């Protein structure tokens, strides 16, 4: 089994406030259209207050 990772970064303007997360949906839909299955996500960078500001979307590749 093989995996592919897509890095998603939050807009810096949203660090202090609640971030509006919608870009991940487009990525998941695009990868699904290519036959890849969404497997989960993993936070890779956190801000000084502990909020996740960068994460990887993980996809299984058939």
* Domain edges within the chain: 2-61
d(CA 41, CA 2): 15
pTM of the model: 0.80
pLDDT tens for each residue of 36-49: 999 999 999 998 88
Res 20: pLDDT: 57
Strand ranges of the sheet holding 37-46, from the earlier edge strand across to the other edge: 2-9, 52-61, 37-46
Res 24: pLDDT: 85
Res 62: pLDDT: 84
Q: What is the mean pLDDT of each run of 10 residues along the chain (62 residues)?
A: 92 56 85 97 91 93 90
d(CA 16, CA 50): 11
Residue closest to 8 by CA, chosen among 59, 53, 50: 53
């Amino acid at each position: 089994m093989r995996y592919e990772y897509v890095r998603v970064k939050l807009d810096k303007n949203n660090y202090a406030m609640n971030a509006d997360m919608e870009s991940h949906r487009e990525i998941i839909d695009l990868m699904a259209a290519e036959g890849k299955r969404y497997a989960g996500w993993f936070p890779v960078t956190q801000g000084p207050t502990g909020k996740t500001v960068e994460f990887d979307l993980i996809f299984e590749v058939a």
